[in-house]
Chains A and B, each alone.
Chain A
Amino acid sequence: MAKPYRSRSQVVHELLATIQSEGPVGVTRLTSVVNLTHGRIQEHLGAFEENGLVVCAEGERSAWTLTPRGAQALEELRRVDRAMRDFGINL
């Protein structure tokens, strides 16, 4: 079933949360949890890696884990989500 509209930050939130809870995690697992295509997941992971939010285990291209910086980003996204719930905004 198609997921309702998600902002980019909500997608980022879901991806980082999945990597944190299930990491080290592969792209295939992420596609089923976050409901994005393989290509889109790869794009996001590339951007995350560039910004130091995630790392891939050495020698393996499909075992992603969160860095401390990624955990910090996830915490901020969680706080944003809480604030939006506090405002009652659900767009």
Chain B
Amino acid sequence: MPSGDAIAVTVVQLATAGAALCGVWRCRRLQRYGSDRRLTALAWFFGLFAAAVLLNVAWQAQVGVAFEERLGGALVGPGPGNATHGAPPYGFTLFRPEGVERANLWLAGHHALMLASLVVGVWAFGTRRPEAPAVAAAAGFVFIGELVPTMLALEAGVALYLAARAFLNHVAVKSPGALQAALGFLLFFVGHLLFSVAHQPGMGHAAFGDVLNLVGIVLLVQVLPGKR
């Protein structure tokens, strides 16, 4: 059985992905009178973020000690001809955790999507950057594993940029919504900073960082007008 901590972390991450998907839904609904590329950019930001979090949930479920026995087989399926005993734990090499970071397709996808989400955020704020977040996807997963601390630091750095832009926007606009957006991006940054500084090879995110991310995303989604 998974431990209580593992379940709590998974619930927080699923709630974060759910909140981000709610943001996507709001952005789509608000475009019923006509397309708006500002809302489209925001929808991509929320959508890629939600997908990144879901891939992280899948990775943690696969490599997490508490979940390993329970979900390891279910995620990858048994290999041909060894459905009962003596089967290797992972049927597809893409899902086999490699190296000290236990990197595989889930983890590589998580970081690629998270960076893509943040790059969309940076672009939406008006600054284009020639980032290519998925460029490393073709490399081996051991190499990806070595890049994990760098990717975490990069994610925290881009999140800091978003937080700084949101703060400057709040100073210029001075509205409750701008304050809420600045606070949301600040929590988003602190969450990513915790992921980076508290990173342990092959382990999941710092749970407190996940909580900050959840609150940050909820604050950001709440800036969008809801139903009236």
Residues of chain A touching chain B, judged by Cβ–Cβ distance below 8 Å, are: 7-12, 73, 76-77, 79-80, 82-91
B38 lies within 8 A of A76 (CB): no
Q: How many A-B residue pairs have CB under 8 A?
A: 81
A7 interface neighbour in B36, B124, B126, B168, Cβ under 8 Å: B36
Q: Chain B CB within 10 Å — which of A8, A10, A83, A85 has the most?
A: A83
Q: How many angstroms from the CA of A7 to the CA of B35 in the assembled complex?
A: 6
Q: B175: CB under 8 A from chain A?
A: yes
Interface on chain A toward B: helix, strand, loop, or mixed SS? helix
B37 CB contacts on chain A under 8 angstroms: 7, 91
A73 lies within 8 A of B36 (CB): no
Q: Chain A CB within 10 Å — which of B33, B37, B39 has the most?
A: B33
CB-based nearest A residue for B29: A76
Residues of chain B touching chain A, judged by Cβ–Cβ distance below 8 Å, are: 30-31, 33-39, 41-42, 124-126, 165-166, 168-169, 172-173, 175, 177-178, 180-181, 223-225, 228
Q: Given A83-B223, A83-B224, A76 and B30 touching (CB < 8 A)?
A: yes
Q: How many angstroms from the CA of A52 to the CA of B185 in the assembled complex?
A: 39
CB-based nearest B residue for A88: B169
B165 lies within 8 A of A88 (CB): yes
Q: Given A86-B223, A89-B125, A10 and B36 touching (CB < 8 A)?
A: yes
Q: Given A9-B36, A89-B125, A82 and B177 touching (CB < 8 A)?
A: yes
B177 lies within 8 A of A83 (CB): yes
A85 lies within 8 A of B36 (CB): no
B125 CB contacts on chain A under 8 angstroms: 88-89
Q: How many angstroms from the CA of A50 to the CA of B165 in the assembled complex?
A: 41
Apart from the given pairs A7-B35, A87-B38, 17 other A-B contacts in the complex at a CB distance below 8 Å: A7-B34, A7-B37, A8-B34, A8-B35, A76-B30, A79-B225, A80-B39, A83-B177, A85-B177, A86-B178, A87-B166, A88-B168, A89-B38, A89-B42, A90-B38, A90-B126, A91-B126
